[in-house]
Chain A
């Protein structure tokens, strides 16, 4: 860990928010932002750090969500364990996907992920004995949980908020950690020039498969959290192309390959979506599309990347932008 202290402080501060007594709707919106942060960060690990644009991450979110549901509703394993299992299952599923799709590069890789995601969606829709098909899964009541003799109140938003903070923290801290590691250096090399990376002896497929597994674990965790919090999962909700695209937008608008980008992107897009929906009565997808185009055109390093560059202008090296904090 490069900078443990700021992380500990930020997480502690985030955990104090419920004590300030926000209304339950405010907490709900914060939970959404944190969930989107986790999902955006999951995509960012692969798309931002390694430069591999996936259009199929919803499949991994779906695996996480379905694992959580199936473990709880069929085997009685509590969803908080289910979330972890969901992450693990998504990472596991990602291995064969990675070994197959990473034989392809650039846009070919993106198209392959799209096809994989569609196949996963068709499985979720048609493999009824496992997934309940279009009916989906509904949790009617969460199991009791005692932490040190204190019973968790599932009617309150606080336990979900705490879980969401921990998930988002796990996603961002692990991104930070990878960036500072040898693996991170390999990823930069792959992103900038894959042939050159291979030429200097980096096992690019292995590095990419490891990164995909990391990314998939986070996406699966996020999917598990979706199931845990929203309590209803069907193929439409977690396996659609729209979800994959939203993950891309969050990472892209926030700042591709930056640590804080997904948090900024999720906040920006959730807040904008809420304003647009409430005040203007417009579909927020118009604004997703527009902000996406504007960001790529005018600040391809994303909001966080731009802010970071402005703050660190004295040093202002191009490499710093690429690494982006």
Chain B
């Protein structure tokens, strides 16, 4: 079994490690086959580019970085298996990746037990950093932070406070967390929730739900989707059924991808996307990253690629500061200590790990303390998704209420 090593060497530079100096290995379980394989591929590309850049610039204290990706096929048990394999057989110093929360939960559990630091780069379940695992760190925001920009908008934009809201969300950990966080705040502000509808992920037909919602005539239409297709179909069917609220607000990566425009065309106009993170192309550094990624791989990076790319830089920064001795156990703890002292800015934004209380009352351990600031609300305008809230990040002025709204 030990011979069945699938090391993914991601660049030509890597295949010829510097003489005498072993490469520093980072383990990353990702779905490389199966239904989630497209996501695994996004991360593979992102890690590859970051590692190539770092190695080209001399590596980490003269040592090359190497990423070892193992396929977990989006299965929890397999995620635990490959995490175990990476740590005990492949002897990686530190872990990242995971992709979906179920798999990340297993990886976090294994890493905590085997005392190996794990930097979560994308999975968003609050629970991952709310169980007191001191070896688990997370750069990206938790699910309950997704609605922050939206909640900030309704509180601070004049006249934006909803008179009523319909909330439609998928019945997954992701959908449920976001919907709960949003509804909790709305209720505190006395906003009536006229529809509270959970749908199974990958629903093929939203027309029945939308028919019901239309009858309720909500002031705001909130839609949560973990799957891009659900996001697009929700929007399509809501508009087709003739729901006309003052604002459509989408939560989840799907509402921010180019497919929204290419597949929905004019139906996407003025739909808001409140995300945990939204690429701020006002920032020249982010713009440069986008361009370079596009030149290298021919695709524009999104949330996933930015998260994967940034994770490698955060790890490289910690590895630079950690004193590595060659003793696996000591080195892993040294990296953990170094991660605790992280204070830097990546393409994703500022990062510093700390313990604090999340919007739903969870106590986070080693969760990026800047997470709430990453939340941005953007709006679709003539085929472009532009940041509109908070005002400091705004690329354009927002259109509210929706001109099509029922008077």
Q: Interface residues, chain A, CB within 8 Å of chain B?
A: 23-26, 28-29, 32, 125-126, 133-136, 138, 140, 155, 226, 230-232, 234, 236-237, 274-275, 277-279, 281-285
Q: Which of chain B's residues have a CB closer than 8 A to the CB of A136? A: 102, 105, 173
Assess the B102–A236 pair: CB atoms within 8 A: yes
Chain B: which residue is nearest A154 at the CB level? Answer: B113
Q: Which of chain B's residues have a CB closer than 8 A to the CB of A234? A: 76, 102, 173
B37 to chain A, nearest CB (A): 8
16 A-B interface contacts by CB (under 8 A): A23-B88, A25-B85, A25-B89, A26-B1, A138-B105, A138-B127, A140-B131, A231-B106, A232-B76, A277-B71, A277-B73, A278-B5, A279-B4, A281-B33, A284-B33, A284-B73
In the bound complex, what is the Cα–Cα distance between A285 and B106 (angstroms)? 22
In the bound complex, what is the Cα–Cα distance between A230 and B265 (angstroms)? 45
B97 to chain A, nearest CB (A): 16
Assess the A230–B80 pair: CB atoms within 8 A: yes
Task: Please tell me which one of the listed residues B1, B4, B76, B176 contacts residue A230 in the complex, with CB atoms under 8 A apart.
Answer: B76
Assess the B81–A32 pair: CB atoms within 8 A: yes
Q: Which of chain B's residues have a CB closer than 8 A to the CB of A32? A: 77, 81
Q: Which of chain A's residues have a CB closer than 8 A to the CB of B89? A: 23, 25
B354 to chain A, nearest CB (A): 20
A-B contact count (CB 8 A): 91
B136 to chain A, nearest CB (A): 11
Task: Please tell me which one of the listed residues A25, A138, A237, A279 contacts residue B77 in the complex, with CB atoms under 8 A apart.
Answer: A237
Judged by a CB distance under 8 angstroms, whether B52 is at the interface is no
Q: Which of chain A's residues have a CB closer than 8 A to the CB of B34? A: 283, 285
**Residue in B4, B34, B131 with the greatest tally of chain A CB atoms within 10 Å:** B4
Assess the B173–A135 pair: CB atoms within 8 A: yes
Assess the A281–B76 pair: CB atoms within 8 A: no
Assess the B131–A138 pair: CB atoms within 8 A: yes
A232 to chain B, nearest CB (A): 5
Assess the B109–A237 pair: CB atoms within 8 A: no
The 8 residue pairs across chains A and B that have the minimum distance between CB atoms: A283-B33, A278-B4, A278-B6, A237-B76, A134-B173, A232-B105, A25-B89, A25-B88
Q: Please, what's the 1-or-0 string for B83-123, where 1 marks a CB less than 8 Å from any CB in chain A? A: 01100110000000000001001100100010000000000
Assess the B33–A230 pair: CB atoms within 8 A: no
Judged by a CB distance under 8 angstroms, whether B403 is at the interface is no
Judged by a CB distance under 8 angstroms, whether B156 is at the interface is no
Chain A: which residue is nearest B130 at the CB level? Answer: A138
Q: Please, what's the 1-or-0 string for B26-67, where 1 marks a CB less than 8 Å from any CB in chain A? A: 000000111000000000000000000000000000000000
Q: Which of chain A's residues have a CB closer than 8 A to the CB of B76? A: 230, 232, 234, 236-237
What 9 new A-B contacts, CB under 8 Å, besides A23-B89, A236-B102? A26-B1, A133-B176, A134-B172, A134-B173, A134-B175, A135-B127, A136-B105, A230-B77, A236-B76
Q: Which of chain B's residues have a CB closer than 8 A to the CB of A274? A: 1, 4
Chain B: which residue is nearest A237 at the CB level? Answer: B76
Judged by a CB distance under 8 angstroms, whether B132 is at the interface is yes
A196 to chain B, nearest CB (A): 42
Judged by a CB distance under 8 angstroms, whether B2 is at the interface is yes
Assess the B102–A237 pair: CB atoms within 8 A: yes
